[in-house]
Amino acid sequence: MIDAAELKRRTAELLAAHPPATTDRLDFLRARFDAGLAWVHYPEGLGGLGTARSLQAVVDAELEAAGAPDNDPRRNGIGLGMAAPTILKYGTDEQKQRYLRPLWTGEEVWCQLFSEPGAGSDLAGLGTRAVREGDGDWVVNGQKVWTSSAHNARWAILIARTDPDVPKHAGITYFLCDMTDPGVDVRPLRQITGEAEFNEVFLTDVRIPDSRRLGEIGDGWKVAQTTLNNERVAIGGMRLPREGGMIGPVSKTWRERPELRTHDLHQRLLKLWVEAEVARLTGERLRQQLALGQPGPEGAGMKLAFARLNQEISGLEVELHGEEGLLYDDWTMRRPELVDFVGRDAGYRYLRSKGNSIEGGTSEVLLNIVAERVLGLPSEPRTDKDVAWKDLAR
């Protein structure tokens, strides 16, 4: 097993062969991947060295101290946090070799084609169809919605219905979709903030080779669980410094604007500051548990806490600013690559936080997941689980 000392030695070799100050950013990232220092817990040849996930922090610290470039993880969060672990677990050797390196270096951005207008919370009820022509390509038709980064993405992870004659969870297959293929139409969805951070995607006779199927035919729901569990951890377990995230701007305003303070707001701020710190430390503990394997349903609890906390903090911030908190006059139609909470005003943060309880799984659905899969409570009666999808009322 490779230990911390060996990782430091290999990192020093990388830095000596590719000095960050004189090496092209992309060339450095490719060299880092090839050296196994991208994801140290991934297998050799796929950006890793097959060692403990917890040792990634050793590599990251050495590279940060040397001023090495990172792979801009926020820009390709769906690829890094959701697509990559799913491809690693279910992909063929050819798929892993083809997709993981340009995904990690950021050369190819990914998006997620899961939710639909009639299948958001009930994702397994999706209606996008993939029909196979003999033993060849799959032809996909349907509509997806709330797709972050689709306007920047080269690839998408896609689930589609391949068998309408079986219950809804059983007739789904998982694909990798080229967003530049004919028939893929990306349209902006303007949000309450004025931005079009999300998209709707129309798929019309999109041809996907069977070589881009991930997992077995009909196993798409099982494959998607790996994606969804990683998604909830990625959203709810983001690594933040103390006073990171939305609590930071509120604390800063409190210190700099004493004239805005009241006793009631002070008590609420203290309560939320403590909760934000608890959430940060819980996220650190969750990441340590991830070092032992794939994330489980516990990530749903973190994502729930993240959504509620952000919404309460943003509401407090608006109240703290008084009349100023109601100001929000930038309704420019933008297509941002990144969501920037800290660099915007209180009004933006308040409006944007409303989406936190929807994206990555609605809070209502996540409460069910925590109840049933974490706490072991009885499941709610579901009359549609054994009915063929084609016979369900829609």
Q: Tell me, what's the pLDDT at 115?
A: 94
| H-run or E-run covering 140 | strand 138-144
The mean-pLDDT minimum among 41-50, 186-195, 255-264, 365-374 falls in: 365-374
Q: Given this model, what pLDDT does residue 328 score?
A: 73
Reported as a pLDDT band with limits 50, 70 and 90, residue 229 is confident
- Of 110-119, 233-242, 267-276, 332-341, least confident by mean pLDDT is 233-242
Per-residue pLDDT at 372: 87
Mean pLDDT to the nearest integer, 181-189: 97
- Are 132 and 156 in contact by the 8 Å Cβ rule? The answer is no
Q: Calculate the average pLDDT of the chain.
A: 90
Which residues are paired to 115 by β-bridges?
none
Q: Which residue has the tokens 């069977």?
A: 210
Is 212:154 a contact under the CB 8 Å cutoff?
no
Which pLDDT band, with edges at 50, 70 and 90, does 197 fall under?
Answer: confident
CB 204 within 8 A of CB 141: yes
Domain annotation for the chain: domains and CATH numbers: 4-70 (no CATH), 79-218 (2.40.110.10), 225-374 (1.20.140.10)
Structure tokens at 3: 């230990």
Q: Residues 392, 383: contact at Cβ < 8 Å?
A: no
Neighbouring C-beta atoms of residue 393, cutoff 10 Å: 5
CA distance 28 to 77: 20
Predicted local distance difference test score (pLDDT) of residue 245: 83
Give the predicted TM-score (pTM) of the model.
0.88
Q: Tell me which amino acid residue 198 is.
A: F
User: Which pairing describes strands 184-189 and 172-178: parallel, antiparallel, or unpaired?
Assistant: unpaired
Averaged over 309-328, what is the pLDDT?
A: 90
pLDDT at residue 252, as a whole number: 92
What count of Cα atoms within 13 Å lies in the side-chain half-sphere of residue 316? 26
Residue among 74, 103, 78 at smallest CA distance from 359: 78
How do 198-208 and 138-144 pair as beta strands? Answer: antiparallel
Cα 219 from Cα 251, distance rounded (Å): 47
* Active site residues per annotation: 231
Element (H, E) at 113: strand 110-113
Alpha-carbon span 298 to 78, nearest angstrom: 19
DSSP secondary structure letters along 188-212 = EE--TTS---EEEEEEEEEEE-GGG
| Predicted pLDDT of residue 66 | 97
* Two structure tokens written together for 103: 């995904």
**Structure token digits, residue 53:** 């996930």
DSSP state of 83: I
Provide CB contacts within 8 A for 110, sequence distance 6+: 76, 78, 79, 82, 83, 103, 149, 153, 154, 155, 156, 157
Q: Are 302 and 282 in contact (CB under 8 A)?
A: yes
